[in-house]
Amino acid sequence: MAGASEGQVQAVVDRVHKAGLSTHVSVGVARTVIGVVGDDRTKEMLRESLEVAPGVEKVVAILQPFKLVSREFMPHDTVVTVGGRTIGGTQVAIIAGPCSVESREQIMQTADAVKAAGGALLRGGAFKPRTSPYSFQGLEEEGLRLLAEARERTGLPIVTEAMDAEQLEHVVRYADMVQIGARNMQNYPLLRAAGRQKKPVLLKRGVSATFEELLLAAEYILSEGNYQVVLCERGIRGINGHTRYTLDLSAIPVLKELTHLPVIVDPSHGTGKWRYVGPMARAAVAGGADGLMIEIHPDPAAALSDGPQSLNLENFSALMASLRPVANAVGRSL
């Protein structure tokens, strides 16, 4: 709908709602796009009448099973804003911090290092999904309070994970962005709950998930009204024994072709070994990633979780310096 008036847009929305379908309106510079979601037979019956409605330029059927996340629905890139920082656009956003918040000293020291090196957001786990029930599970709400204190100290927005709808209620009171991890990519009640709250969401690809499954998971969030979603490639199960996972960097151009949502890469989980993080981080930036998620720790050997894949603070600072010329070479900045 190029140049359509507010009244014409509202008339189309009202007609769609009267047919029992839902709408998602995207207002762009050149035109307004109205996404229609619901029963396919009803949509097809409504299509002809909408094509001749005042202000309607054309009606396009989105063939992908994911509708709202598709490029067909929104051709321009979405830029997600988190606590005043952006993910998407010309800057590459660096999200860094420990796998788990372990103590006040640890998270404050790490937060200071992230800020000093030029990182955009601070990550840290308060509720930790672990393979073994006997492993460290996180400091829970105390961890959230420490993250909030680190934000107050440094000004860095914070990203932390929620594993179910109950935890989500706690997380949104503290965090600037909610992470949904690989294990919960298809936790549909959690996805819907994350869509109903309005905090930005970082959605990680499951370890065996296809691109379509990842995008349909994101569709759950958008269908509830939350368009502030960032996708994260963090490695999939492979057959080599030298890295923790197979980091699929082809996900960057493929997802950017299929969706308007920002795409970031987690080379820490993708490799599982700190010495491989730098090369894969630089490759991800060169490949067009909108950001990176890096695990760092003041003393990785003493970390309660994911020590082998965590950079120490000095190595993180060196990595940041090495990323800047790569970002500049592809027309971006950190």
pLDDT tens digits along 73-120: 888 999 999 999 999 999 999 999 999 999 999 999 999 999 999 999
Above 80 in pLDDT, residue 57?
no
Residues of the chain with CATH 3.20.20.70: 80-329
Higher pLDDT, 134 or 33: 33
Above 70 in pLDDT, residue 196?
yes
Above 90 in pLDDT, residue 174?
yes
Per-residue pLDDT at 276? 98
Per-residue pLDDT at 168? 96
Above 80 in pLDDT, residue 135?
no
Above 90 in pLDDT, residue 46?
no
Backbone angles phi, psi at 229, to 5 degrees: -125, 135
The average confidence (pLDDT) of the chain is 91
pTM metric for this prediction: 0.90
Share of the chain above pLDDT 70, in %: 91
What are 206's two structure tokens?
A: 């499951």
CA dist 171 → 165, 260, 262, 311 (Å): 10, 26, 22, 26
Task: Give the CA count within 13 Å in the CB-facing half-sphere of 133.
Answer: 0
CA 287 – CA 254 distance, rounded (Å): 11
- For 254-280, b/e burial (b = at least 16 CB within 10 A) is ebbebbbbbbbbbbbbbbbebebbbeb
- Architecture of the 80-329 domain: Alpha-Beta Barrel (3.20)
Q: Note the pLDDT tens digit of each residue in 272-283.
A: 999 999 999 999
Per-residue pLDDT at 169? 93
Per-residue pLDDT at 52? 67
Higher pLDDT, 255 or 15: 255
Higher pLDDT, 20 or 79: 79
Question: What is the arithmetic mean of pLDDT over 215-229?
Answer: 97
Counts for the chain of helices (H) and strands (E), in that order: 11, 12
